[in-house]
Structure 1
Amino acid sequence: MDVFLDVLDTVVLDRCYAFLSPDPTAVYQNETITAIHLNRHVNVYYPLQPSKWAEASLWKRDDLSRQALSLLFAMIMYLLGSLVLYHTLFDKRLMRHPRFLAHQIKLEINQGISAIPVITLLTIPFFLAEIRGWSKLYDFTSESPFFGYTLLQYPLFICFTDSAIYWIHRGLHHPLVYSWLHKPHHKWAVPTPFASYAFHPLDGWSQSLPYHIFPMIFPLQKSAYLGLFVFVTIWTVLIREFPCPVLLILENITKKENKCLHLTFADDAEYLPGSIIINGASCHTMHHLYFNYNYGQFTTAWDRLGGTYRKPKGDAFMEGQERDEKAAKKLN
């Protein structure tokens, strides 16, 4: 997170804080400012040329409260990202699905906006630990614990988080906690991009814990962490929460089929059977429809081991939509 925050400060936040809390003695020059001076608490992995507003605020970059507040930027990213994805990749036919709720998008946004600040506040201690150098994150490949770990860290991260999230998610379905903690997310039987953070705050935070615990236990290169962070975000929003043709490509890689697939953005990946290995949108849909199946995050391995795997099947409504559209095209 120190790299992420350095980029965020340089590109956006330095100017914002200079406007909100200006330093009357500030000199708007960056020739004599160094990244090390601005980030005294960390070794900056990708030192950027500071902006001219870097020292223009009374609230300096290494101030603990400023760092905590900066991480609330996640709410803006959620709204903008979901809006872009809704207007580009989301299949609008799903809004006619009988399981799609009235005013659902508004309800998803309201729940997401109310959840994100709480999730962020609960997560800030982990981010601050990373920024302050209290985790096992390291800067350069030469600092890896042994030869080959640079490649090993990726499958190790996936295996660790996949296992941990399976058991956390399965625990959230226990009768003692399901009704008040996890049930709000299951309101969205047909989720849109805005449902990616539409959780009870403790629910969303608990399922994100493995990502933050991993670098506290295992060494992880900072650039790898950023890449995995982006990957997890894309997986959560693009793949698990709404139809995307990319999923069909990922899922069908593992199928024993020799025929080519014709894919377009109109394909309803959410409701098509997928891979028996990758826990994609089709598996996640079965979870929303039948509740006690397919708890996994990336693979179906733990569902198979735990006896909670349910093979995806087609959705009658969406299959009917496909047939009607094909019939209309033939008539035209």
Structure 2
Amino acid sequence: MDLVLHLADEYVLDKVWAHLVPLSAFAASSANSSLLSASASAFNTSAHPILISDPSSSTWTNLVSYLPHPPLSPETFVSSAITSLPATSAWPRDYLLRQVISLSAITLIGIHVLYILFAYLSYRYIFNHEMMKHPKFLKNQVKLEIQTSLRAFPGMTVLTLPWFVAEARGHSKSYESVDEYGWAYLVFSIIL
């Protein structure tokens, strides 16, 4: 799954995350926090921080600025650095929350595509349509079976997601190079 996540990040998800959680959304909050800490130390008060809102920023940017994110260095927010870079997400590829959401979306999309494809092919070419004439066959049984399957997918995703995240974060014994253990180990691992 780490290969699938890497390819999805490379071709689709980097752009999606840069749009949903842009780095620029945290520039204002970083500037506000540095202004607040400077003013609090100057006045020696412990007042609750009040964020200075930027009237030019959108509602979405204001909401995003409250999301958790990994520590960002102050030089990241130099205005020339933000404008010269392509759209960048505040959540890097190895950020746990981004990986969990990305893997959930990939898994749900993948499971729906596989189900629809193979259920259609099975119904079309393997299923005995004469069974539908049997008295115990319900009038809307096919529809009910499809609905039951679709309702089960989120639960299946929750059960498999920890394994996918662990693999993407490097906590698996899988290897990418045959030279690492040799061909004999590869053949033996398939048999097991």
- 1:129 aligned residue (166, 171, 184): 166
Q: State the aligned residue count.
A: 128
Structure 1 contact 2–130 (Cα < 8 Å) conserved: yes
Equivalent residue letter for 1:123? T
Q: 1:78-117 counterparts in 2 under 5 A? A: 78-88=111-121, 90-91=123-124, 94-97=128-131, 98=134, 100-117=137-154
Structure 2 contact 18–89 (Cα < 8 Å) conserved: yes
Is 1:155 aligned with 2:188? no
- Separation of aligned partners in 1, 2:96 and 2:111: 24
CA shift in 2, pair 1:65/1:54, >3 Å: farther
Report the CA distance between 1:54 and its aligned residue. 9.0
Is 1:5 aligned with 2:5? yes
- Separation of aligned partners in 2, 1:111 and 1:129: 29
Structure 2 contact 19–89 (Cα < 8 Å) conserved: yes
2:14 alignment partner in structure 1: 14
SS at the partner of 2:88?
A: coil
- Separation of aligned partners in 1, 2:97 and 2:191: 35
- Separation of aligned partners in 2, 1:150 and 1:138: 10
Equivalent residue letter for 2:5? L
SS at the partner of 2:190?
A: helix
Report which structure shows greater RCO (CA 8 Å, sep ≥6).
2
- Separation of aligned partners in 2, 1:108 and 1:58: 42
Report the CA distance between 1:6 and its aligned residue. 0.3
- Separation of aligned partners in 2, 1:87 and 1:120: 22
1:185 alignment partner in structure 2: none
Is 1:24 aligned with 2:24? yes
Structure label with greater radius of gyration: 2
1:141 alignment partner in structure 2: 178
CA shift in 2, pair 1:80/1:136, >3 Å: closer
Report the CA distance between 1:131 and its aligned residue. 1.5
- Separation of aligned partners in 2, 1:12 and 1:56: 13
Report the CA distance between 1:147 and its aligned residue. 5.4
SS at the partner of 1:81?
A: helix
Report the CA distance between 1:108 and its aligned residue. 2.7
TM-score by length of 2: 0.54
Q: 1:175-194 counterparts in 2 under 5 A? A: none
More helix by share: 2
Is 1:58 aligned with 2:95? no
CA shift in 2, pair 1:151/1:103, >3 Å: same
Report the CA distance between 1:64 and its aligned residue. 0.7
Equivalent residue letter for 2:94? D
Instruction: List, as ranges, runs of 4+ consecutive aligned residues in structure 1 with deviation greater than 6 Å.
Output: none
Q: Deviations over 1:18-46 (max 9, x none)?
A: 33323338xxxxxxxxxxxxxxxxxxxxx
Structure 2 contact 19–87 (Cα < 8 Å) conserved: no
- Structure 2 unaligned regions, length at least 5: 26-84
Q: Deviations over 1:208-259 (max 9, x none)?
A: xxxxxxxxxxxxxxxxxxxxxxxxxxxxxxxxxxxxxxxxxxxxxxxxxxxx
Q: Deviations over 1:168-226 (max 9, x none)?
A: xxxxxxxxxxxxxxxxxxxxxxxxxxxxxxxxxxxxxxxxxxxxxxxxxxxxxxxxxxx
1:216 alignment partner in structure 2: none
Q: Deviations over 1:89-137 (max 9, x none)?
A: 5336634413654323332332223222222222222222211222211
Equivalent residue letter for 1:154? I
Q: Matched residues, percent identical?
A: 34
1:310 alignment partner in structure 2: none
